[in-house]
Amino acid sequence: MNTQPGPDGLLEGVIIGLEQEVLPFVSSEKAYATVAMMQSILQAVRQMLPVYDAYLVDEHNSMTATLRNAAAALDGVAGPEADHIRDRAATLGQLPDLPAPADREALIDAHTRLGRALEASILDLDTIQRQPDTADAGDRSLMAIRAHLAPRVVRDTAVISVSAGMIGRG
């Protein structure tokens, strides 16, 4: 029976093809290292595929709560930056939690909008934190965002292995 490989099988085929058909004929050390780095990136993508959509759903649900928590920490803070953060919490922060699996395009769109909202909120918090009367609230709001981002960094680091081909390249 003929079957078509899925995304993981396609990536595995490219990795094997590079190993067997390209690397034996590469004479430049720089080119060899580049191909090895490409293989490492493809392997990282293979490792992410099974969990990627679940991560997006989890992050979507966490980001909506994070926007609300960041805004709540600014209680009593006046100014356009604080208003921007509260507006984001009142709109994007009110998006309903998504179940897994979700419609992939809707999930990616919502995840992108939420991620950009967190980025914009961090920039607004820079201004809020520079004001003596709002610095403490700004710090609390930023901590709410950091509490969401730090576990993501740790998780992504654990999922994406970095081989020797990626280290020390300058």
**What's the mean per-residue pLDDT of the chain?**
87
pLDDT value at 162 more than 60: no
Domain boundaries, the chain: 7-49, 52-159
pTM for the full model? 0.62
For residue 96, which amino acid is it? Answer: P
**Measured between alpha carbons, how far is residue 23 from residues 16, 121, 162, 168 in Å?**
10, 46, 19, 20
Q: Which residue has the tokens 């909202």?
A: 117
* pLDDT tens figures, 88-123: 999 999 999 988 776 777 877 888 899 999 999 999
Buried b (16+ CB within 10 A) or exposed e, 25-55: eeeeeeeebebbbebbbbbbebbeeeeeeeb
pLDDT value at 163 more than 70: no
